[in-house]
A and B are shown apart, each in its own frame.
Chain A
């Protein structure tokens, strides 16, 4: 039985389940994935299971699994985290863990679905993200969604032996609902 929380054309988004700990671990430990998504420490299944439980208890984050409509295979995750109810903003995050599905527009579609959810269901005013400056493919995808670069955190992250800038991008509700 398919559980769809948000449905798109190529992908749908569903809740995270305890059984997803295995696949999350596979993704989060992968060096190529970590180079783009951060995460310098190992992720054990045991810890990831607890992390999934924490995801469900907290009210300040919404995690969803990106799933292909054709095959029902999970290919990544998307999250609105640090949800701030007073200032009505949240941090967007995404990871396509299955590398065979990179660069096919799945991430961009999932991002649009969750940004729309953020503005039109959660009633957010601003959605922001951080991305490594060398992750050009991600930056192009975020621009396609409608995010704008607004700030460069100089030397914000240490990866592979040197410091890299972090780019902060955001989209406001009036820019999305135009």
Chain B
């Protein structure tokens, strides 16, 4: 099958999600180590995940792409811009590297930069924001490197592992993005 690159970077490219990806998504997003940083707390069946993929793809306010490592043509995670406020031209950024052996190697940062560039340069967004669990220090450092600024925390907004945690809010404005 021919490679489909929607956004192309140095070490990775981003391609559309396909229904065949559902098995892989279920492996990633049920894994406790992966989902500890994500908002999902319920088990994810293939059936449910298939519905989600179909829903996202019908929705013009959300774009989710698969992150693929160029050298191996190996999918390792997803990155997305999710429904914000059309009038205020904002969207919520989300990313997950499901293949744990690819963590901490800069792939997420590169995927994020491609997606943000697409958000500002093609979708004409004004503001891209994200929420991250306050205990996810690695993600915070990566977001700062990309150019996100901390805006504050939602106090005790999430319950995980028996207690409440703060949720960190970060954003980047188009005027701050140099590409």
Measured CB to CB, the residues of A under 8 A from B are 40, 86-89, 125-126, 128, 148, 150-158, 163, 168, 170, 172
Contact = CB atoms under 8 A, between A and B. Distances in A.
Contact of A87 (B85, B88, B159): B159
Interface stretch (B19-27, B138-146, B149-157): B149-157
A152 B151 contact: yes
A34 B127 CA distance: 22
Contacts, number: 66
Contacts of A153: 129, 151, 169, 171
A168 B126 contact: no
A130 B56 CA distance: 26
B71 interface: no
Nearest to A170: B155
Nearest to A86: B41
B78 interface: no
Nearest to A167: B152
Contact of A172 (B41, B156, B171, B173): B156
Contact of B156 (A40, A125, A152, A157): A125
A40 B157 CA distance: 28
A151 B134 CA distance: 14
A156 B171 CA distance: 10
Contacts of A128: 154, 157
Main SS class of interface, A: strand
Nearest to B166: A150
A172 B127 contact: no
Interface string B110-142: 000000000000000011010000000000000
Given A128-B154, A168-B154, A155 B127 contact: yes
Given A87-B159, A125-B164, A163-B126, A151 B153 contact: yes
A163 B173 CA distance: 11
Contacts of A152: 151-152
Nearest to B129: A153
B35 interface: no
Nearest to B176: A154
Given A40-B87, A158-B87, A151 B169 contact: yes
B50 interface: no
B159 A151 contact: no
B83 interface: no
B173 A154 contact: yes
Contacts of A40: 87
13 contacts: A40-B87, A148-B155, A150-B155, A151-B151, A152-B152, A153-B171, A154-B171, A155-B88, A158-B87, A158-B126, A163-B127, A168-B152, A168-B154
B86 to A, nearest CB: 10
A175 B27 CA distance: 41
Contact of B127 (A125, A126, A148, A154): A154
Contacts of A172: 155-156
Given A153-B129, A157-B85, A158-B87, A126 B157 contact: yes
Given A87-B158, A148-B155, A172-B156, 13 more contacts: A86-B159, A87-B159, A88-B159, A89-B156, A125-B164, A126-B164, A128-B154, A150-B152, A154-B127, A154-B151, A158-B126, A163-B127, A172-B155
